[in-house]
Amino acid sequence: MEQRHLGRTGLRVSRLGLGTLTWARDTDERGAADQLKAFWEAGGTLVDTADVYADGSAEYLLGRLLDGLVPRADLVISTKAGSVLAADRRVDASRGHLLAALDASLERLGTDHVDLWQVHAFDPATPLEESLQALDIAVASGRARYVGVSGFSGWQLAKAATWQSAGGTGRTPLAGTQMEYSLLQRGVEREVLPAALDLGVGLLPSSPLGRGVLTGKYRDGTPGDSRGASEQLGPFVAPYLDETASRIVDAVRTAADGLAATPLQVALAWVRDRPGVAAPVVGARTAEQLRASLSVEALTLPDEIRRALDDVSAPVHHYPDHDWSTL
């Protein structure tokens, strides 16, 4: 699998990442092992997790598989901290919480460092410079090799990246930012992606298959074994089952038919090769589903098909994004 630099750093990652959101919840240890082995054998390196995935069990499961199944040195392990599962608080990016969470992640993963450590979400109750100081401490102490953020808006990303790059010695530039991005969700193109491109921060798209909708599995209803049918994830999928999404899915299917490919391959190739994208992170419940995503490595969309998909999925941006200077 092709390797790409993450932002303007020396960190190289496979241009497709393996997500572990389902691990220890919908995917058991045997299924996770099958996924990790298939990913590694395909040349994949970037494995993405977080301390709150399955309440820490996803990290623990990944740690059990390291070395015994796949050499730790062959992988780029990325995890996140800052999200909290509390009734009165969803985010805690204080320096104390972040560093304690990192230590707990390292223990669950069974490693002395992670390759990429990200603040999971912006915390309006904590000064941003305090959160960023935790990133610097993590790198200085050797517990993290590179750092980034996740779920930050355009101005939040720009402020964080500028703070880090302007600090001189002791500050660690942001390597990446993780945000949802697909043919069904192009909101990052409004401010986040332009900021990332300008500041040299690599984008790691999550939900690159539009929460599964772009595979076409929902065209004739909601399959009983799908995320959309589950009580927990049904509301997550529902926003992408409207008429607008249906038109985009039909266009993806038409493109796939013309290329003798699958809708999954077309949708994933589109986001993988967008400017500024380092590696879409794909999640799968089974190794079979993951192999379907890995098969995209051989596909590059022709320019005319890419432009057609750009047009049919183009988000509507008004003031101040377009033509504001002529008003």
List the domain boundaries for the chain: 3-212+263-301
Q: What is the pTM (predicted TM-score) of this model?
A: 0.93
pLDDT above 90 (res 301) = yes
pLDDT above 70 (res 224) = no
CA distances from residue 95 to 22, 100, 137, 157, 191 in whole angstroms, order as listed: 28, 9, 9, 18, 27
pLDDT of 201: 98
pLDDT of 37: 97
Name the fold adopted by 3-212+263-301. Answer: TIM Barrel (3.20.20)
pLDDT of 237: 84
Contact 209, 263 (CB under 8 A): no
Each residue of 118-173: pLDDT tens digit? 999 999 999 999 999 999 999 999 999 999 999 999 999 999 999 998 876 678 99
Alpha helix positions (H), the chain: 29-41, 57-65, 95-109, 128-140, 154-165, 192-199, 234-237, 243-259, 263-272, 287-294, 303-313
Helix axes 154-165, 192-199, angle to 10 degrees: 20
For the residues 292-310, what does the mean pLDDT come to?
A: 97
Question: Bigger pLDDT: 234 or 84?
Answer: 84
pLDDT of 117: 98
pLDDT band at 326 (very low <50, low <70, confident <90, very high): very low
pLDDT of 226: 66
What whole-number distance in Å separates Cα of residue 223 and Cα of residue 229?
7
Each residue of 260-299: pLDDT tens digit? 999 999 999 999 999 999 999 999 999 999 999 999 999 9
Among the listed residues 53, 60, 146, 240, the single catalytic one is 53
| 53 catalytic per annotation | yes
What whole-number distance in Å separates Cα of residue 302 and Cα of residue 304?
6
pLDDT of 221: 67
- Determine what percent of the chain is predicted with pLDDT higher than 90: 83
pLDDT above 50 (res 327) = no
pLDDT of 212: 92
Name the one residue in this structure whose structure tokens are 């223990």: 107
